[in-house]
């Protein structure tokens, strides 16, 4: 979700929206200090002020920038604790019960941005606090009001966040599967294009780096299938995919285009372009299946890539690497060829 918002330029809007919601929630305890139904006694009133200050701190966190995962988890824990305490210090049981509606936006946030475990913990806390507040309201003399409010609050707190997370999980799974090669688990062409654009966008342009694209095509793979069957061929492809992944840098983008063609994008030092390609060629040649690979290489300095035409540059590099790969094939295979002049 974070990557999606960043790719669409929506993180700034999302930050301000979340900060506004948190700030609004933080104003409630201050406003309730002037109400006879608000916190009573010096201790509870002091706690209400602390809760408001804490909410403003949470809003400031979002205004300062997109938080880290750890900061976000702490934000969720603090929000859960704050709402629970706020419900307990309300001046009347009915007011405390109504305050439980604040769990709805918290649960919605966790459902969108965090794990199912944290989401479940938030829901458990919301349900427990709501039920406890409902029991207090019932014991105060109006059980019908308590039951009605508890049911309504639980629907608001549970149904919308749970439905949102279920929908998000289904969309995320579909999006991931559409970017992944089903046989090898590597990226497919679409996943490669998207991930390589992100790789270039995240590159440190203050350093001298090159974007190297390497097209790896197995030599004589049709003979492997014809001789040993497609089941054995799939085994070879899985082994090649694993070796290419292991032989590439951690930040590399490794993809299978289909058949016996693989595409790898990597950020390297200026003089390491052919070293990277040779490493991939050796990763295939040293396998016990008797297969080799022809590797075509194309590269460009990251600082020479126009930030408004990254996708087009990546495509040109792929085409140049493909042409270089065929040069390696014509030279007998199991070789590396470099195609220069891509800009």
Helix, strand or coil for residue 254?
A: strand
User: Which two three-digit tokens encode residue 204?
Assistant: 């440190």
Residue 201 burial (CB count, 10 A): 11
Separation of alpha carbons 297 and 299, rounded Å: 7
Of residues 151, 155, 180, 169, the one with CA closest to residue 256 = 180
Angle at 194 between CA 297 and CA 281, to 5 degrees: 25
Cβ neighbours of residue 61 closer than 8 Å, sequence gap 6 or more = 67, 71, 75
Cβ neighbours of residue 274 closer than 8 Å, sequence gap 6 or more = 297, 336, 338
User: Which two three-digit tokens encode residue 302?
Assistant: 């990251």
Phi, psi of 306 (to 5 degrees): -65, 125
Which residue in 3, 260, 278, 327 is the catalytic one?
Answer: 260
Q: Would you say 273 and 317 are in contact if contact means Cβ atoms under 8 Å apart?
A: no
Q: Would you say 220 and 333 are in contact if contact means Cβ atoms under 8 Å apart?
A: yes
Separation of alpha carbons 127 and 5, rounded Å: 30
Q: Is 278 assigned a catalytic role?
A: no
Q: For residue 218, what are the β-bridge partners?
A: 293
Active-site residue list: 260
């Amino acid at each position: 979700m974070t990557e999606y918002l960043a790719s669409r330029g929506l993180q700034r809007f999302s930050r301000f929206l979340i900060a506004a919601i948190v700030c609004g929630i933080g104003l409630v305890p201050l406003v309730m200090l002037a109400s006879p139904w608000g916190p009573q006694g010096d201790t509870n009133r002091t706690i209400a002020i602390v809760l408001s200050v804490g909410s403003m701190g949470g809003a400031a966190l979002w205004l300062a920038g997109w938080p880290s995962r750890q900061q976000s988890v702490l934000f969720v824990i603090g929000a859960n604790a704050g709402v629970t305490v706020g419900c307990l210090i309300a001046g009347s049981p009915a007011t405390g019960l109504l305050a439980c509606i604040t769990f709805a936006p918290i649960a919605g946030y966790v459902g969108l941005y965090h794990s199912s475990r944290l989401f479940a913990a938030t829901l458990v806390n919301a349900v427990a606090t709501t039920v406890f507040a409902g029991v207090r309201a019932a014991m105060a003399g109006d059980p019908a009001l308590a039951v009605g409010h508890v049911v309504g609050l639980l629907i608001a707190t549970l149904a919308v966040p749970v439905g949102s997370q279920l929908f998000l999980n289904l969309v995320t799974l579909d999006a991931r599967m559409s970017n992944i090669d089903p046989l090898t688990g590597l990226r497919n062409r679409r996943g490669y294009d998207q991930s390589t654009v992100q790789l270039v966008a995240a590159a440190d342009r203050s350093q001298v780096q090159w974007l190297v694209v390497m097209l790896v095509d197995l030599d004589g793979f049709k003979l492997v299938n014809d001789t040993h069957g497609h089941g054995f061929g799939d085994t070879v492809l899985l082994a090649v995919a694993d070796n290419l992944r292991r032989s590439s840098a951690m930040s590399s983008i490794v993809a299978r285009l289909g058949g016996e063609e693989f595409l790898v994008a990597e950020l390297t030092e200026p003089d390491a372009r052919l070293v990277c390609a040779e490493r991939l060629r050796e990763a295939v040649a040293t396998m016990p299946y008797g297969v080799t690979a022809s590797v075509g290489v194309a590269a460009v300095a990251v600082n020479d890539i126009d930030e408004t035409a990254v996708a087009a540059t990546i495509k040109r590099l792929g085409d140049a690497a493909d042409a270089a790969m065929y040069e390696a094939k014509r030279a007998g295979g199991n070789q590396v060829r470099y195609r220069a002049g891509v800009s």
